[in-house]
Amino acid sequence: MAGTLKVGMLSGDRRSKVVTDLQALVEAEVAGKSGLSGGIIKTGYAAAKKVKPGFVGRAIDSMLEDFVAALEPHWAAYQAQPAGDFGAFLSRRPQEVSQALLEVTDRRAKGSSPAVTSVYSKLRPKGQDNVIDALPRLGELVQRHAG
């Protein structure tokens, strides 16, 4: 049985690889959005990156421990009865998992610059749907790094 997510994802040189992979996941999720709401997400994401170059990677890195802590109980439950992959496991708990992850970003947004807070407030109403859409890929990424 694998250990905790904290050990699996934050130890040694693993952290930088996890941050890089999470940034690629965010980029892929944003790129895959379509329609009016997808256009809003793409515009907001581009604006956030424009505010501060490298912002996305730094934001992921600065919140990674909190994201890992939010996922830790789900990882422990998955390990207790592993059935299928972790992405499918997370997808069976979409409301609970997405809310735990969004609590991390909501806390961070409150302490951000007015420009970042403004962009975040425009993206947040669809945040839960977007996180839920990303759960299969997120679970795969977590399992690859921690499993």
pTM: 0.86
Crossing angle for the helix pair 35-51 and 114-123, nearest 10 degrees? 170
Q: What is the pLDDT of residues 51-93, one digit of tens each?
A: 778 888 998 999 999 999 999 999 999 998 877 899 999 999 9
Q: What is the pLDDT of residues 4-13, one digit of tens each?
A: 888 889 988 8
pLDDT at 14 over 70: yes
Q: Are 46 and 113 in contact (CB under 8 A)?
A: no
Least trusted range by pLDDT, from 11-15, 30-34, 44-48, 124-128:
44-48
User: 17 is in which domain, residue-wise?
Assistant: 5-146
pLDDT at 48: 74
Backbone angles phi, psi at 109, to 5 degrees: -60, -35
3-state secondary structure of 147: coil
The count of domains in the chain is: 1
